[in-house]
Structure 1
Amino acid sequence: MTNASTNGRVRLTYAFDAYCGWCYGFGPALHDFVKANGDRIEVRVLSGGLFTGSRALPVAAYPHIPGANARIAELTGVVFGQAYQRMLAEGTVVMDSTDAAVGLVALSDQPGADALDAAAAIQRAWYVQGRSLSDGQVYRDIAADLGLDADAVAAAYASPQTRAQAQVGFLEVRRLGVEGYPTLLVHTAHGVDRLGGPVSSAETLTRLLDQYLAAAAV
């Protein structure tokens, strides 16, 4: 495995989950980092499957979430919307990471789509608007906001092939050894190394990338 793609850019993989509050907190810094370094990196986005199978439960089943959100807001400055707070208090919406992962694939596979923008839009739908990510209309609305073909996204979201592709993404995240989210990985000649952590700033990520490139050039 090489550290660069065919266009010479450093290959990164961002493993996240749409229902991960720390990923929501990390999102702005990651976007700023990617924007600042877009000429030398390319980023693949994979969903990790945090709440799947027996873990796909109503949000009330995870009572630690409000406290975690307060900590995330304190450390990263992100805002959790009022609609989300009301939904959280009601506690009945089921968090199913598989549905959210299918939505990301459906959006990301469209012509002109940016996977990071799609991931951020999905997290806004949840953490700001308080909308269930198992609702297909969410992805129609996101498609419209991102200038994508909403009908094509809806068809992809309903497709078994898209669901299978999301499952392949889960397997790839596990193959890479990811144990928590968010995780940003840089691909090297010897495998992958983690770049930064959930509260790293864009500037910190850029400095770490510089250090990696300097070491790789030796």
Structure 2
Amino acid sequence: MNPTINTSMKAKAVLHAIIDPLCGWCYAAAPLLDAAANAGFEITLHAGGMLTGPRRKQIDSQWRDYVMPHDQRIAALTGQAFGENYYEGLLRDTSIVLDSAPPIRAMLAVYALGGNDLAYLHAVQLAHYRDGKCASDEPNLQVLAEKMGLDGAAFAKEFAQNEDAFYQHILASRALMNQLGAQGFPSVALATSEENLRLLNHSRFYGHPSEWLVYLNEQVS
């Protein structure tokens, strides 16, 4: 999750993914990012803070009615799992306030401790959308870090002290969005040793990771 753009790369190319852990379409893009990572692309995550500060969202019936058609479309397009505990549990729990800050801070903590932030992001997404375990809940986030093999106490300490790093990360991610002219989450940009950073049209490949890899390889060849 290093916000600094470095176009001199040892891997075949770097994909810069501007995401938010509470963005359903970022969950839709998870198979694309996984496919690229498995194919040798370096993935650098930039979390934009979609639901932070005054944009935090308390779950209510209007929110449920708003997100469910999007979630159902994502499931149809990509096969990504949305579980009963999400639809009938989390989305009906009006005590929950959706806040992107805790999962982003957790991702930063995982990265600082040498963990795989992409794998952790996807674990958070699965826990939220498939299992109905709120991604804004700090105890859930620590459990997921421990399941990755990270020390729970070290994670908790890093999480507790990274508030300033979180704010700097958000500012850098939003500056990158402005630089690219990106319109929302997720946005994916490619950097190679021969080219400057440029925005990709990833959305047409939802549900088609093999075609996405063909497209990526064409961009770097």
TM category (shorter chain) comes to 0.7 to 0.9
Contact 1:12 1:187 in 2 (8 A): yes
- Contact 2:79 2:207 (C-alpha < 8 Å) held by counterparts: no
Partner residue in 2 for 1:203: 210
User: In structure 2, do the counterparts of structure 1 residues 89 and 122 end up closer, same or farther at CA, with 3 Å as the change threshold?
Assistant: same
Contact 2:182 2:199 in 1 (8 A): no
Equivalence for 2:186: 182
The 1:54–1:97 alpha-carbon spacing in structure 2 relative to 1, beyond 3 Å, is same
Maintained 8 Å contact 1:195/1:205: no
1:4 offset after TM fit, Å? 4.5
TM-fit CA distance, 1:29: 3.2
Please tell me the root mean square deviation across aligned C-alpha atoms, in Å.
2.4
Q: Tell me what 1:58 maps to.
A: 58
Question: What whole-Å deviation, never above 9, does each CA across 1:81-128 have from its counterpart, x for those lacking one?
Answer: 2221211023331111122211111112212x1121011011122112
Partner of 1:192: 198
Give the structure-1-normalised TM-score. Answer: 0.85
| TM-score normalised according to structure 2 size | 0.84
Report SS of the residue matched to 1:118.
helix
Find out whether 1:30 has 2:36 as its counterpart.
no
Once the two structures are TM-superposed, the CA of residue 10 in structure 1 deviates from its matched residue by 1.0
Residue 183 of structure 1 aligns with an amino acid whose one-letter code is S
Of 92, 112, 131, 1:89 maps to 92
1:59 deviates by: 2.5
1:43 is matched with: 43
How far apart, in 2, do the equivalents of 1:123 and 1:50 lie?
A: 15
Structure 2 distance, partners of 1:207, 1:186, is 14
What is the CA–CA distance in structure 1 between the aligned matches of 2:176 and 2:97, rounded to whole Å? 23
State the aligned residue count: 210
The question of whether the paired residues in 1 share the 8 Å contact of 2:17 and 2:188 is answered with yes
Structure 2: gaps (5+ residues):
none
Q: Work out whether residues 96 and 134 of structure 1, in 8 Å CA contact, stay in contact via their aligned partners in 2.
A: yes
1:114 aligns with 2:116: yes
C-alpha deviation, 1:78, in angstroms:
1.2
- The match for 1:140 among 119, 139, 142 is 142
Cα distance in 2 for residues equivalent to 1:161 and 1:116: 21
Pair 165,109 (structure 1): closer, same or farther in 2 beyond 3 Å: farther
3-state SS of paired residue (1:64): helix
- Pick closer, same or farther for the CA change 1:8–1:124 going to 2, 3 Å: closer
8 Å CA contact 1:144, 1:150 repeated in 2: yes
Structure 1 gap segments, 5+ residues each: none
Identical aligned pairs, as a percentage?
26
Superposed displacement of residue 8, structure 1: 4.8
Residues 52 and 98, structure 1, Cα contact 8 Å, conserved in 2: yes
The offset of 1:172, in angstroms, is: 4.1
Equivalent positions of 1:135-174 (< 5 A) are 135-159=137-161, 160-174=163-177
